[in-house]
């Protein structure tokens, strides 16, 4: 054990191990992504009337104009990107299908060129994205057509991609009325019913008629957080167990058979085939499921039965290898995040200019009673988790509680500030400063809660809707964290104790702050270079399930820069809280992690534990916010570790604050929708 610890404490060896994990993980992820080099994977882009669509094209060996193949165009859901479709892309390309995993407009590397008003933004990308991609892919000579010129193309998508799938088939049928050619042969939606397409007047009945003789299916998970229960949707309480085969809409989709069976194909009078699969999964679980992937394989094999190339391989649906790609990308991701601390240590050792005077400073801090420390950790972890739904959804009646709390703090901090001038034993510089800060943050908190609708409104500046939600939660959490730390100060400080900045991981020397910023920039640039090199060499990135570090373009960088001041406040306060609470503690890193994500993990455990145990989540109204939280937890967990470990290397929290702000904001923005033409 001592040798192992010594190895990890050696920066050069730690850096070498991180690079090895990145290289080995990325290499083998590429091996499985290309099905042992039987499939060529490349990023493509093409122009449309609405903008530029991008995607990953999986081209199996032999597919060409001389041997055209049935083709699948598959796309992701809201806030994701093409890489989330790696399971069906790998499995179907391995079976000889051409697969285009598509980035929707304003997701991933795709962009729209049409101006969009905020109210219509959600309907600006998915209604036409798959249809536009079909127009492109149909014209490629490696795509198989039948004797009449009809395309042997299947469209598919998860969640919002499922809406786009429905719309693509409807638009294709409209095109058939004019040209006599159906470019789409089959369509499979995953995690999507007709709720959102109905706003475009494409209800289940309209879609059913338009799909016509095509082969069509739905994967409708029993624990999907959004869809497949119309009564639950009407009450906005959708985090419940459901059975789409018992819903009128689901039955109508199948042609109203008696006692329908999941996974069984039903023939319709118009010649179409319909099927519904019902795995015991949640909405995001669909991406990471052998059962759902097997359902997709089963559907495509049935849809293209008798229409395959003689050179295609018939592989059993249970023979799946996509998970190994995910596993090795996880290995590479671990290496990626391991990279920065040893690199920082080496830079600080070798580059004299980056060294700060505080590196050798020691802080004298009174140890807190274990019970009091436990209480601090519980409140630190519990507050942002308990109010997570309130802040993410800006729920007015619950924000009122926080507004009243801020008003109480305004009074208390004002009294404390006045007392620091007039009461003898209370007259200390630190009491005056902390009282003043508490008063400022309490006033800001009161305004923030009272005028929540005016903060982080989607605009050309704040153009990533989910980052707006995350930003409001982060700033609100930071405000109340400052107030909480002020209370702790007055409880724990004594008259004879000298309160210094280094107790909070801070410094008043501008050069030390500048050095921390420069070191953070060097670390960020190093990580970005490695990310793009991996993408160029292997066409993979660093991901596991819903959490990913992926390549980005200029629109993401510009958007991230706009959000960084917001998250700087959060990570600054977060860094101070972690440093002050855990300084000198044996299990400081574990406590830091508990402070950042302990409560949030408990919320997820209760939400999904209750959902699977009773059929209803602990808060059935929290659908999207629960799913977003799954991706937020690793961000905050890693940020907590960086705060502790980078502070140990540099002597103050500034490097970790700047680095967490830049890296985590960029990761978050790159993995969500960014409206490039929002006005």
What is the average pLDDT across 487-514? 79
**pTM (whole model) above 0.85:** yes
What is the average pLDDT across 388-411? 95
452 plus 596 within the same structural domain: yes
The DSSP secondary-structure symbol of 366 reads: P
Give percent above pLDDT 70 in the chain: 95
CATH number at 284 reads 3.40.50.1820
Q: Parallel, antiparallel, or unpaired: how do β-strands 39-47 and 51-60 relate?
A: antiparallel
49-54-55-57 Cα dihedral, nearest 10 degrees: 80
pLDDT at 429: 78
273 plus 396 within the same structural domain: no
Our count of domains for the chain comes to 2
pLDDT at 81: 95
Q: Is residue 181 part of a domain?
A: yes
pLDDT at 1: 45
255 plus 400 within the same structural domain: no
Do residues 642 and 341 lie in contact, with contact meaning Cβ atoms separated by under 8 Å? yes
Bridge partner list, 276:
218
| pLDDT tens per residue, range 44-54 | 999 999 999 99
What distances in angstroms separate CA 139 from CA 132, 253, 514, one per listed residue? 12, 31, 55
Q: Is residue 40 part of a domain?
A: yes
Q: Is residue 575 part of a domain?
A: yes
Averaged pLDDT of the chain: 93
pLDDT at 425: 58
What is the average pLDDT across 329-345? 97
Q: Parallel, antiparallel, or unpaired: how do β-strands 71-75 and 542-544 relate?
A: unpaired
Q: Is residue 336 part of a domain?
A: no
The sign of the torsion formed by the CA atoms of 578, 584, 590, 595 equals negative
380 plus 448 within the same structural domain: yes
What is the average pLDDT across 243-250? 97
Q: Say if residue 358's pLDDT is above 80.
A: no
294 plus 377 within the same structural domain: no
377 plus 235 within the same structural domain: no
Q: What beta strand segments (E) does 513-580 contain?
A: 542-544, 547-549
**Looking up tokens 């970790």, which residue turns up?**
656
Q: Is residue 664 part of a domain?
A: no
315 plus 377 within the same structural domain: no
| pLDDT tens per residue, range 520-578 | 999 999 999 999 999 999 999 999 999 999 999 999 999 999 999 999 999 999 999 99
The residue range of the domain holding 400 is 368-506+546-644
pLDDT at 360: 44
64 plus 146 within the same structural domain: yes
What is the average pLDDT across 297-315? 93
State which H helix or E strand residue 103 sits in. strand 98-103
pLDDT at 359: 47
What is the average pLDDT across 241-257? 97
pLDDT at 119: 62
Q: Say if residue 27's pLDDT is above 80.
A: yes
pLDDT at 315: 86
What is the separation, in whole angstroms, between the first and last Cα of the chain? 58
Neighbour-count burial of 546, counting CB atoms closer than 10 A to its CB (0-12 exposed, 13-18 middle, 19+ buried): buried
Q: Assign 511 a pLDDT band (cuts: 50, 70, 90).
A: very high
pLDDT at 361: 42
196 plus 76 within the same structural domain: yes
Q: Is residue 83 part of a domain?
A: yes
């Amino acid at each position: 054990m001592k040798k192992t610890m010594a190895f990890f404490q050696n920066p050069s060896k730690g850096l070498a191990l991180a690079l090895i994990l990145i290289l080995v993980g990325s290499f083998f992820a590429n091996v499985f992504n290309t099905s042992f080099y039987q499939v060529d994977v490349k990023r493509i882009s093409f122009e449309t009337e609405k903008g530029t669509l991008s995607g990953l094209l999986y081209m199996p060996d032999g597919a060409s104009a001389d041997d055209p193949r049935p083709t699948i165009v598959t796309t992701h859901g809201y806030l994701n990107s093409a890489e989330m479709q790696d399971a069906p892309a790998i499995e179907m390309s391995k079976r000889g299908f051409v697969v285009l995993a598509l980035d929707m407009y304003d997701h991933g590397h795709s962009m729209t060129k049409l101006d969009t008003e905020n109210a219509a933004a959600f309907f600006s990308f998915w209604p036409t994205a798959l249809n536009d991609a079909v127009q492109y892919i149909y014209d490629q000579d490696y795509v198989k057509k039948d004797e009449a010129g009809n395309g042997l193309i299947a469209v598919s998508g998860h969640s919002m991609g499922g809406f786009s799938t429905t719309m693509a088939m409807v638009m294709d049928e409209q095109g058939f009325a004019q040209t006599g050619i159906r470019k789409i042969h089959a369509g499979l939606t995953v995690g999507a019913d007709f709720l959102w397409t109905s706003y475009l007047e494409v209800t289940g009945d309209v879609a059913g008629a338009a799909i016509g003789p095509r082969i069509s299916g739905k994967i409708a998970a029993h624990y999907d957080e959004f869809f497949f229960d119309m009564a639950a949707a009407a009450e906005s309480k959708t985090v419940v167990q459901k059975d789409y085969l018992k819903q009128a809409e689901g039955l109508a989709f199948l042609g109203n058979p008696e006692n329908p069976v999941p996974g069984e194909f039903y023939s319709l009078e118009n010649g179409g085939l319909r099927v519904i699969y019902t795995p015991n999964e949640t909405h995001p679980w669909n991406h990471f499921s052998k059962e759902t992937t097997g359902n997709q394989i089963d559907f495509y094999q049935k849809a293209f039965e008798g229409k395959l190339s003689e050179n295609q391989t018939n592989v059993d649906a249970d023979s799946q290898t996509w998970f190994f790609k995910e596993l090795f990308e996880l290995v590479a991701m671990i290496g990626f995040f391991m990279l920065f601390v040893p690199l920082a240590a080496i830079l600080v050792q070798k580059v004299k200019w980056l060294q700060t005077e505080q590196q050798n400073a020691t802080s004298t801090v009174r140890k807190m009673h274990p019970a009091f420390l436990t209480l601090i950790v519980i409140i630190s972890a519990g507050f942002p988790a308990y109010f997570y739904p309130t802040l993410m959804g800006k729920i007015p009646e619950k924000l009122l509680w926080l507004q009243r709390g801020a008003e109480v703090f305004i009074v208390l901090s004002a009294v404390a500030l006045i007392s620091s001038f007039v009461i003898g034993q209370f007259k200390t510089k630190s009491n005056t400063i902390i009282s003043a800060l508490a008063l400022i943050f309490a006033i800001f908190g009161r305004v923030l809660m009272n005028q929540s609708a005016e903060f982080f409104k989607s605009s050309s500046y704040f153009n990533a809707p989910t980052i707006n939600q995350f930003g409001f939660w982060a700033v609100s959490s930071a405000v109340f964290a400052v107030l909480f730390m002020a209370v702790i100060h007055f409880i724990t400080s004594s008259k004879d104790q000298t309160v210094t900045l280094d107790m909070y991981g801070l410094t008043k020397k501008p050069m030390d702050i500048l050095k921390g910023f420069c070191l953070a920039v060097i670390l960020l640039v190093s990580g970005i270079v490695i990310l793009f090199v991996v993408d160029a060499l292997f066409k993979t990135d660093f991901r596991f399930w819903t959490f990913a570090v992926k390549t980005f373009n200029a629109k993401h960088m510009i958007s991230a820069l706009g959000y960084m001041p917001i998250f700087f406040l959060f990570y600054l306060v977060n860094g101070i809280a972690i440093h002050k609470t855990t300084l000198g503690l044996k299990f400081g890193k574990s406590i830091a992690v508990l402070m950042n994500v302990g409560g949030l993990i408990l919320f997820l455990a209760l939400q999904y534990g209750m959902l699977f145990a009773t059929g209803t989540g602990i808060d059935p109204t929290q659908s999207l916010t629960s799913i977003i939280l799954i991706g937020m937890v690793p961000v905050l967990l890693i940020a907590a570790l960086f705060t502790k470990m980078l502070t140990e290397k540099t002597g103050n929290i500034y490097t970790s604050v700047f680095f967490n702000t830049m890296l985590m904001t960029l990761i978050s923005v790159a993995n969500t929708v960014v409206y490039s033409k929002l006005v």
